[in-house]
């Protein structure tokens, strides 16, 4: 096998400007590849004109303009296509991180570099999820993304399936969808599940513990944690609606919600109408290190999302913080959560069962601790990016050895 010397990673977003799931995956993959000696350049949004920075000896970040309306992953590459045509020939391999959003196939015949695409979730699954919602609960941007955006994603997915040299599918649930909906070619497909940088998380937790010891910090009551963009598909409305039932049995509980988005006014109205202002707070965006601090300090982490791009990064981060996690029983959550062993799964969109699960875990500290320890061990064994990066290098090496089709 020929190990590639240089990799171009393409992702519309990249931290610290955004800490979404795919953004975090790109960040962790880039840093771990560079730590293993591979030269990596990340092409991402976040600048008004091309801006290049060196993050370490092997890692370069090139920020480019990106249109701020959906689907950003496609517009980002369309508006920078000429730039990519000039820069990508210098690399051994191109890796597109956003499935259903890469247009590299349009210039591949000219550039002639091997192409790997990460498939996180299927565009048809997103569209089916959209129909679970009443139209007035979705923002205009989200409606465009899930409906008209579907047509764009469908064309780009077909382009990727036709011209990519290899596919990396980032979860078992996603693989099942691609096998079912798109009849993906198994011989050129590798399952590499999402992961997290445990060293990064452990370092932030260690720094937090030292700070708490110096401040002699004390907390009163129990804290629930959730985070994510405030859109209907994240299910935050279900979690807020469960709180009155939770408070009937646990009066000294506070729910902290981190993130911003178009659902914020609706969620504020819901909090007010349920008289939850003293127990539920919308915390907005916070820096990543503070987000991990809040996650680690919480007693329970809850993620009621109805669609994710592979296994949820936020869930894995909570598990790495030794937290018991509650989530709906969707296939993408079953990829990483085994009920009552590494987490707690409740029936989809069932507010009463969600409240019961929260009450059970809040009242049983021993169960919370046991599940949290099991969750942490599961992440160490299966989702440590130091191990995952080596799987990517093996895929890259095979693709480069086989050449560009």
pTM, entire model: 0.90
Q: How confident is the model at residue 216 (pLDDT cuts 50, 70, 90)?
A: very low
Domains (range + CATH), the chain: 6-195+384-402 (3.40.50.2000), 198-382 (3.40.50.2000)
Residue 217 pLDDT > 60, yes or no? no
With b for 16 or more beta-carbon neighbours within 10 A and e for fewer, the 348-367 pattern comes to: eebbebbbbbbbebbeeeee
User: Does an H or E element contain 384, and which?
Assistant: none
Contact (CB, 8 A) for 234 and 322: no
Average of pLDDT values for 265-290?
A: 95
Backbone angles phi, psi at 9, to 5 degrees: -100, 125
Residue 91 pLDDT > 80, yes or no? yes
Q: How confident is the model at residue 2 (pLDDT cuts 50, 70, 90)?
A: confident
Contact (CB, 8 A) for 119 and 178: yes
Q: Which residue has the higher pLDDT, 154 or 355?
A: 355
| The two structure tokens encoding residue 326 | 């509650």
Contact (CB, 8 A) for 122 and 145: no
Closest CA to 323 of 273, 370, 272: 370
Q: Which residue has the higher pLDDT, 9 or 140?
A: 9
Q: Which residue has the higher pLDDT, 33 or 159?
A: 33
Q: How confident is the model at residue 140 (pLDDT cuts 50, 70, 90)?
A: confident
């Amino acid at each position: 096998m020929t190990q590639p010397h240089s990799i171009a990673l393409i992702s519309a977003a990249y931290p610290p400007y955004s800490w979404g799931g795919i953004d975090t995956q790109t960040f962790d993959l880039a840093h771990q590849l560079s730590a293993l000696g591979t030269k990596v350049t990340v092409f991402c949004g976040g600048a008004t004109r091309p801006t290049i920075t060196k993050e370490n000896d092997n890692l370069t970040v090139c920020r480019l303009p990106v249109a701020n309306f959906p689907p950003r992953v496609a517009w980002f590459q369309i508006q920078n296509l000429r730039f990519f045509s000039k820069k990508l020939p210098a690399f051994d391999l191109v890796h597109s991180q956003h499935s259903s959003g890469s247009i590299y196939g349009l210039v591949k015949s000219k550039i002639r570099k091997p192409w790997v695409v990460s498939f996180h979730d299927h565009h048809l699954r997103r569209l089916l999820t959209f129909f679970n919602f009443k139209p007035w609960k979705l923002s205009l941007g989200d409606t465009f993304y899930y409906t008209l955006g579907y047509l764009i994603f469908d064309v780009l997915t077909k382009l990727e399936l036709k011209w990519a040299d290899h596919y990396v599918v980032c979860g078992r649930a996603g693989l099942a969808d691609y096998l079912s909906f798109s009849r993906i070619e198994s011989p050129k497909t590798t399952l590499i599940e999402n992961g997290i940088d445990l060293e990064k998380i452990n370092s932030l937790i260690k720094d937090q513990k030292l700070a708490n010891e110096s401040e002699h910090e004390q907390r009163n009551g129990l804290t629930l944690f959730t985070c994510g963009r405030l859109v209907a598909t994240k299910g935050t409305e279900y979690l807020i609606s469960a709180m009155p039932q939770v408070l009937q049995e646990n009066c000294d509980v506070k729910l902290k919600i981190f993130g911003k988005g178009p659902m914020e006014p609706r969620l504020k109205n819901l909090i007010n109408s349920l008289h939850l202002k003293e127990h539920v707070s919308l915390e907005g965006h916070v820096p990543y290190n503070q987000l991990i601090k809040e996650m680690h300090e919480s007693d329970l982490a809850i993620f009621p999302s109805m669609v994710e791009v592979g296994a949820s990064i936020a869930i894995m981060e909570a598990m790495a913080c030794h937290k018991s996690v509650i989530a709906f029983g969707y296939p993408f959550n079953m990829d990483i959560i085994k009920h009552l062993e590494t987490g707690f799964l409740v029936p989809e969109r069932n507010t009463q069962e969600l409240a019961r699960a929260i009450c059970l875990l809040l009242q049983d500290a021993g169960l919370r601790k046991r599940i949290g320890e099991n969750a942490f061990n599961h992440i160490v064994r299966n989702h440590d990016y130091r191990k995952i990066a080596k799987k990517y290098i093996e895929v890259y090496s095979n693709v480069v050895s086989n050449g560009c089709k």
